[in-house]
Structure 1
Amino acid sequence: MATSGQSISALLQRSTIDDHEEVIKACNAALKKSKQDLNALHVKTVALVKLDRFEHAIRVIEEGGDALKKRVPLEWSYALYKVGKLEDAIRIAATTETGRGGKHVEAQATYRAEDFRRTADLYKELSAENPALAGEENDLRINSRAADAQLQWAGLASFVSNTRPSREDLEAFETTYNVACGAIGRGELDTGAVLLERAKELCKSSEDLTPEDKVAELLPIAVQQLYVALKQGKTDEARNLVEEINVAEIPELSTKKVAHNNMLLVSQTESNPYLLHKQFNQIPTSTNTDKLFSVQNRTLTGNSYVVDLLVRKFEGIARSTEKVLSRHSAPTASPDINTLSVFNIAAHARDGPGKSGIKEVLPLLEKRPQDVGLILTVIQLYVAAGNVNSAISVLEAFLQRLDESISEADKDIRFNPGLIGILISLYKVQSRKTHIKTELAKAASHWQSRSPDKHPSLLRAAASSLLTSGDSSDLSTAGEIFTKLHEANPTDRFATAGYIASYATIAPEKVKASVEQLIPVQDLISDVDVSSLEAAGIPSTAAAVPITAAISSRKRPADDKQGVAKKRVRKSRLPKDYDPSKKPDPERWLPLRDRSSYRPKGKKGKQRAAERTQGGPVNEKSEESAASTPVIQAKGQGGGGGSSKKKKGKGKK
C-alpha cells in the first residue's frame, strides 16, 4: 500500500497535469500488486473522467465497491450524467456529501432531465453563496439564463423570476444568446432577433476564442436566427442564413438535426414530397448523451409524420401510432402522446376534410373514448364545421366520464387548465355565463385541495369570475382563493386587489390593513393630461350627440309641407263629376253598405240591416240557414300533409 502510494506520488511529481495516460499506467501497475488500493483507484477514476472515458470510469467505481463509491461520489455522479444516466446522477449528487461541486452536477443533470424548476432553484442557491472558483460567477449567470429560457419554452413562464436582462447579461455572447432564447420562448421574436444579432457580434469580437471556437459558437446562433426568420415569414433573410450554415461542421447531432430540418423548410424540395422525405431522413438519430429536448423532439416527430403523410404512408402511420398509444394509459395530458393521437386520426381520415373527416373519426372515438388527443381533434373538426353544440357535447361527455372515475390522476385530467380553457371558450361563444362560473369554481376547488400553487392562472381566472357574482358564498370562495394567491406572492397587485374586493362588502375589517398596499387612484391618473386628450380628439360629454339624434335631425318634419311639389294626376283617371274644390269622401274605397252614410231601402233591406247590428236580437232561422250554407275553401300550398285528391260531391249515384 505504501509502495503504491509512493510510486504514484513520485509519478505525479515527474508528470504534467495533463498527462493522464501516464497516470493511468502507473495506477494499473500499482493495482496489479493490490487490486483494492483505494488511492490508485481514486486517481485512476479522476484521470479517466478527465479523459472523457466516462463508461470506463463508472466500471472502475463499481468494481471498487462501496469504499470507493463513498470516496468519489462527485466523479461518480458526473460520469453517470455524461453517459445519460440522469436519475442515478441526480440521486447520488443530491444525497451524498458532494459539496458545491455536487450541486453543479445535480443542476446539469436536472437540466438534461428537463426538471427546469429544480435547475433554476439550484443555480439560485449557488449564486446566493460566495463563488469558490474564479470564473464561476460568470458560469452561474450563463447557466441560470439557460434554465430561465427553458422554463419559457416549457410553458412555465410564471416560475421565471427575472425576464429583464441586466447589463452584465448583455456583455457576453453566451448570456446574450440565452436571454435571446428566453425572449423567443415568450413569443417576442423581434426582441429575440435583435439579441441574437448582438450575440453574434460579441462572439466575433471575442478575444478569448480561437477562430475555430468562434466558428463552433456561431453555428448555433445562426441556426436559431434561421428559426426566428422562418417564424416571422422573412424568406429572403432565411435564405441568406442558410448560406452561412454548414451542417457538416456542427458537432452535436441534436443541433445538426434541428439545422437540417429548418434548412429544408427554406428549400424548394417541398414541391416534391418524395424527395423531401428522402432528405428529411438523412440525418441520423441523436443519442442519449446528445438528445433533443421535448419541445424540439415533439416538433421534429410531428414533421416526420407530416412528411410520411405527404408520401401517403397512411397504413404505416396508423399502425405505428396505435402501437405507441396502446402502451400508454389514457387519459393523459402528455403532449407527445396526444400529438401521436392526432397523426393517428390523420392517417385514418386520409384526405377526408370537413364532414367526411368527422365521419371517419367518430368510429375511433367509440374505440378510444378516453383519448384526449382524439377528443380535442373531434372538437376542432366540429368547430371548423360551425357545429359548436356538438363540440360542447363531446367535451362535456368526456368530462362527465372523468367525474365518475375514482382515480386521482383522472381527476387531475378532468380539471386540466387546458381542457377547462377550451370548455370556457366554447361556452363564451354561446354566452353561457353561468356555466363558465360553475366550471371555474369547480376547477379552483379541486386544485386548492390538491396543490394550491400549481395552476395560479386558473385560480386567478376562477376567483375573478366568482368576484362578479353578488352572492356572499361566491365572494367568500373568491376571497379564499385570492387570500392564498396573496400569501404566496404579497407583491402581486392583482391578487391583492382581488383579496380586498372579495372582502370589501362581506368583511371589510379583514382587509383594512391591505388597502394601503394598493396604489391610490390619484397616483394612477396623475400623469394623464386631460387637456391634451381633448385636444387630440376625445369628444367632451356636452358636445357628444347620439347618432340617432343626428339622423333624425336630417328628416323632414311631418307638418312641413312648404316647397313640396304635388303629384300631378292625369285627367283620364279622374271621375267625370270631379270637383277639385271639394274634399273627396274618405270612405270612397269601402262598399256602399259599409259606409256610414248608407241607408237601406225597402222592408227587407231594413230587416237585414237590423240583423247586422251589433248587440241586436238574434234570428235563429237566419243563423241556421247561414250554418247550413257550404263554405268553399281555397287550396293551400305545402305544409298540412292532407290528401290532394278531390272529394266527390253529394249527388245521385
Structure 2
Amino acid sequence: MAASTKSLTTLLAQSSLDDHDEILKSANAAIKKSKSDLEAQHAKVVALLKLDRFEDAIKVFEAAPAVQEKARFEYAYALYKSGDAAKAVEVAEGHASTRGMKHVLAQAAYRSENFEHAGKIYRELAKQGGQDEEYDIRINSGAVDAQLEWIGLGELAEKKKPTREDMEAFETAYNAACGSISRGEFAQGEVLLKRAKDLCSALSDMSEAEKQAEILPITVQQVYVYAQMGKFEEAEKLATTIPLTEIKELSTRYVAQINAIAASKEHSNPYQSHRLFHVSPTPPKTDEHFSYQINILRQDGYVMDLLSQKVAGVANSTLKVISASPTPTTSPVVNAAAVLNAAAHARNVSEKAALKEIIPLLEKRPSDVGLLLTITNLYILTNNHAAATHLLETFFNRLEQSGNSSDLDVRHAPGLVATLVTLYAHQGRPSHSKTELAKAATYWRHKSKAPSKALMVAAGTALLESQNQDSLQAAGDIFGSLFEQDNTDRAAIAGLVAGYSLIDPSKLSPDLESSLPEASRLVADIDAAALEAAGVPSLAAQAETSATKKRPAADKLVPEKAKKIRKSRMPKDFVEGKKMDAERWLPMKDRTYYRPKGKKGKKKMEASTQGGPVVEEKGEAKQAGGGTVKAKKKGKGKGGKW
C-alpha cells in the first residue's frame, strides 16, 4: 500500500491539468491493489470530476462511504453537477466552513429552488470579500433576485431596481432585465436586453461562436417581452432569426420553440401547433426547468389540448392533479389545474352558460380554491358582484369554523384576502375592507413568518385611516413587527411613526423620526407656480369661486337646442316649421280652448266644471273627493218593486 501511495503521489506531483486520464489510470491501478486506499479513491473522484464524468464519480462515493467524509466538498459538487441539488445541499449544509463549500452550497440551493437561502449565502460571501470573486457574486446575486421575483417573493430580493453597475457587463444587464420582466416592467426589460446584447457583442476576449451562444438566450427572452407588450409582428420576426438547433441548453431551446409557436401567425392552426408543441425536446435532469416554469409549460400543454378539442382528456388529467393534493390549498399547480378543469367542462360557452356548467362542480369540490376563484371571476364578468362576495364570504366562514391550521392559512392567504377586499371596495364598503385586512394581519403577526409583506403594509395603512384607538394600536403593532424584521424598511418606519405619533408618541425615538426623509426634500422638485398656472387653484381662488357661484340671469341663459322628435311620435298632419299644439296629448274636452256646441254640450260642460252643481245619476253617488262608488241595488222580492 505504501508503494502504491508513493507512486500515486509522485504522479500527482508531476501531473498537469491536462492529463487527468493518466491520473485516473494510476488511481485505478492503486485501488486494484488495495480497495481501502482512500488517497487513490480521492484522486480518482477528482480526476472524474475534472473529466466531467459526474455520474461515475457518484458511483465511487456510493461504493465507499469513507470517501464521502474525506472528500465532502467533491461529493457535494458531484451531486450538484449530476442534477441532485437537494442532496448536495444536505451534504454541504453542515460543513460550509470553507469558501469553496459555501459556493457549492449557494449553487445547490439555487438549483433546488431555495433562492432565499442562496441569496443569504451570497451576501455572506460578498461581506467576507475575495479575490476575483466580486464580479461572479454580483452576477449570481442578480440571478437570485430575479428568481425571487418570479416566484412571488420579490420583497426578499436584495435589489429592486437596476443600478449603474448592472450596465457594465452583459451578464449583470441580462439578470437585471430578467428582474424587470418578472415584475411586469417590460419596457425597461426591453431596454436592458438590448444593452446586454450590445455589451456581449463588443467583447474582445470572446470568439464569435461564444458570443452567439450567449446572445441566443437573450434573443429568446426578447421574443417573450415583445409578445407580452403586444408587439406581435416584432416577436414573430425576431423568432424567425433564432437558429433553434444552435441553442445548447435544451431547456432554453424548448422555451424558444414554444415562444415561436405563440408568436407565429403561420401556426394559427391549433392542430399544427399542438403537434409542434409536443415534438419540442425534453431537457435532461441536469438542465430541468424550475418548478414555476414547468407549471406554466404544463398549462400551455392543456391549452393546446383544449384548442384541439381534447376537452375530455384535459378534464381527466387536471382532475388527477387536483385529487392528488389535499384541499383547500394555495398551490399554483393545483389551482391552475382547477381553472383548466373548469374550462374543459365549460366547453367555450358564454359566461352565464359557463356558470350553469361549473357551479355543480363546486358542490362536489367545495374546497377547491381554483374553482372558487373561477366562479368568482365569472360572477364579476356578468356584473354580479354581490354573488361573488357572498361566495367568498361563505367559503371564508366555512374555513374559520373548521379550526384546522392549514385551512386557516388558506383563509388568510393574501391573494384571497385581496380579492374580497377589492369586491368590498367596488361595492363601497370600506369598513368591511379594513376589518378583513386587520383580521388577516392579526393572524399572520402571530405566525413565525408572514407570506406577504404587501398584505401587512396594506392592512396597517388601512387601519391608520381610522380614528379608532384600537385600530391605530393594531396599525402600530403591525408596522412594529415589520420594523423588527428590517429596521431599514422605510414603509415600516413611516407606518410606525404615523401610528404611534397618534396613540403614544413616547415610543418614538428621535433616531426613528430622523430616518424619514424631510418633507422639504420630498417636494423639492415640485414647482408650485407651474402647477397653479396649469390649473391647480389656490385657496384664495377656491374661496373666490365659491363666493361668486350664482345662478345666471334668465336673459343671459343660452337657449337650449330644440330636440329632434322621432317620426313615429309625429302626427300624420305634421308640417315642418309649423308650431305644434302643446295640449295635443290631452283629451279634447280638457283643452283650454275647447268650446262645446249645442245645449247638451254646454250643459255637460257646466256639470264637469269644478265647483259646479252635483248631479246624482242613477246607480252612482258622488263622493266628496270627486270619485264615484257604485250604489248597491236592492234585489226584487215577493213584496213587489223597490
**TM-score w.r.t. structure 2 length?**
0.85
Aligned to 1:582: none
Amino acid at match of 1:121: K
SS in 2 for 1:125: helix
Q: Describe the superposition over 1:426-467 as per-residue Cα deviations: whole angstroms up to 9, x where unpaired.
A: 111111122112111111111010035542211111112222
Matches within 5 A, 1:358-373: 358-373=355-370
Matches within 5 A, 1:238-317: 238-317=235-314
Aligned to 1:28: 28
Name the CA distance, whole Å, in 2 between partners of 1:186 and 1:152.
7
Matches within 5 A, 1:178-189: 178-189=175-186
Native 8 Å contact 1:427 1:435 kept in 2: yes
Aligned to 2:173: 176
Moved more, 117-126 or 168-177: 168-177
Aligned to 1:64: 64
How far is 1:196 from its partner? 1.0
Q: Describe the superposition over 1:382-425 as per-residue Cα deviations: whole angstroms up to 9, x where unpaired.
A: 11111111111111111112102232121111100000000000
Native 8 Å contact 1:148 1:160 kept in 2: yes
Query: CA 1:343 to 1:39, structure 2 compared with 1: closer, same or farther past 3 Å?
Result: same
Matched, 1:103 2:102: yes
Aligned to 1:445: 442
SS in 2 for 1:271: coil
How far is 1:166 from its partner? 4.2
Aligned to 2:598: none
SS in 2 for 1:47: helix
Aligned residues: 588
Q: Describe the superposition over 1:309-362 as per-residue Cα deviations: whole angstroms up to 9, x where unpaired.
A: 011111111111111211111111111111011111111111222111111111
Matches within 5 A, 1:46-195: 46-65=46-65, 67-96=66-95, 99-131=98-130, 135-195=132-192
Matched, 1:536 2:558: no
Matched, 1:320 2:317: yes
Query: CA 1:550 to 1:284, structure 2 compared with 1: closer, same or farther past 3 Å?
Result: same
Native 8 Å contact 1:486 1:495 kept in 2: yes
Name the CA distance, whole Å, in 2 between partners of 1:524 and 1:20.
63
Matched, 1:469 2:466: yes
Native 8 Å contact 1:482 1:499 kept in 2: yes
SS in 1 for 2:216: helix
SS in 2 for 1:450: coil
Native 8 Å contact 1:5 1:39 kept in 2: yes
Name the CA distance, whole Å, in 1 between partners of 2:364 and 2:235.
44
Moved more, 29-38 or 184-193: 184-193
Name the CA distance, whole Å, in 2 between partners of 1:490 and 1:319.
50
Name the CA distance, whole Å, in 1 between partners of 2:14 and 2:187.
57
Identify the match of residue 594 of structure 1 among 611, 632, 635: 611
Matched, 1:7 2:7: yes
Amino acid at match of 1:71: K
Query: CA 1:11 to 1:491, structure 2 compared with 1: closer, same or farther past 3 Å?
Result: closer
Amino acid at match of 2:76: S
Name the CA distance, whole Å, in 1 between partners of 2:509 and 2:606.
79
SS in 1 for 2:503: coil
How far is 1:230 from its partner? 1.1
Q: Describe the superposition over 1:199-245 as per-residue Cα deviations: whole angstroms up to 9, x where unpaired.
A: 11221221222222112111101101111111112233223312321
Matches within 5 A, 1:561-572: none
Query: CA 1:476 to 1:441, structure 2 compared with 1: closer, same or farther past 3 Å?
Result: same
Native 8 Å contact 1:5 1:40 kept in 2: yes
Identify the match of residue 352 of structure 1 among 344, 349, 374: 349
Query: CA 1:633 to 1:425, structure 2 compared with 1: closer, same or farther past 3 Å?
Result: farther
SS in 1 for 2:130: coil
Percent of counterpart pairs with the same letter?
45
Matches within 5 A, 1:191-270: 191-270=188-267
Amino acid at match of 1:235: F
Q: Describe the superposition over 1:108-149 as per-residue Cα deviations: whole angstroms up to 9, x where unpaired.
A: 1111111111111111111111215xx322211111111111
Amino acid at match of 1:131: G
Aligned to 1:44: 44
Aligned to 1:583: none
Amino acid at match of 2:435: T
Name the CA distance, whole Å, in 2 between partners of 1:288 and 1:151.
22
Query: CA 1:591 to 1:327, structure 2 compared with 1: closer, same or farther past 3 Å?
Result: closer
Aligned to 1:616: none
Matches within 5 A, 1:376-455: 376-451=373-448, 453-455=450-452
How far is 1:164 from its partner? 4.0
Aligned to 2:567: none
Moved more, 121-130 or 525-534: 525-534
Name the CA distance, whole Å, in 2 between partners of 1:335 and 1:575.
79
Query: CA 1:248 to 1:414, structure 2 compared with 1: closer, same or farther past 3 Å?
Result: same
Name the CA distance, whole Å, in 2 between partners of 1:536 and 1:593.
64
SS in 2 for 1:504: helix
Name the CA distance, whole Å, in 2 between partners of 1:648 and 1:352.
63
Query: CA 1:490 to 1:176, structure 2 compared with 1: closer, same or farther past 3 Å?
Result: same
Amino acid at match of 1:9: T
Amino acid at match of 1:496: I
Name the CA distance, whole Å, in 2 between partners of 1:382 and 1:632.
52
Native 8 Å contact 2:622 2:629 kept in 1: no
Q: Describe the superposition over 1:555-577 as per-residue Cα deviations: whole angstroms up to 9, x where unpaired.
A: 3499xxxxxxxx9x9xxx9999x
How far is 1:192 from its partner? 1.3
How far is 1:472 from its partner? 1.4
Amino acid at match of 2:263: V
Name the CA distance, whole Å, in 1 between partners of 2:237 and 2:549.
58
Native 8 Å contact 2:240 2:260 kept in 1: no
Query: CA 1:26 to 1:518, structure 2 compared with 1: closer, same or farther past 3 Å?
Result: closer
Native 8 Å contact 1:74 1:98 kept in 2: no
Matched, 1:19 2:19: yes
How far is 1:508 from its partner? 2.7
Identify the match of residue 507 of structure 2 among 506, 510, 513: 510
Structure 2: runs of 5 or more not aligned:
558-578, 582-591, 596-604, 616-620, 638-642
Name the CA distance, whole Å, in 2 between partners of 1:165 and 1:383.
37
Amino acid at match of 2:530: S
How far is 1:649 from its partner? 7.3
Structure 1: runs of 5 or more not aligned:
559-566, 577-587, 609-624, 635-646
Amino acid at match of 1:127: A
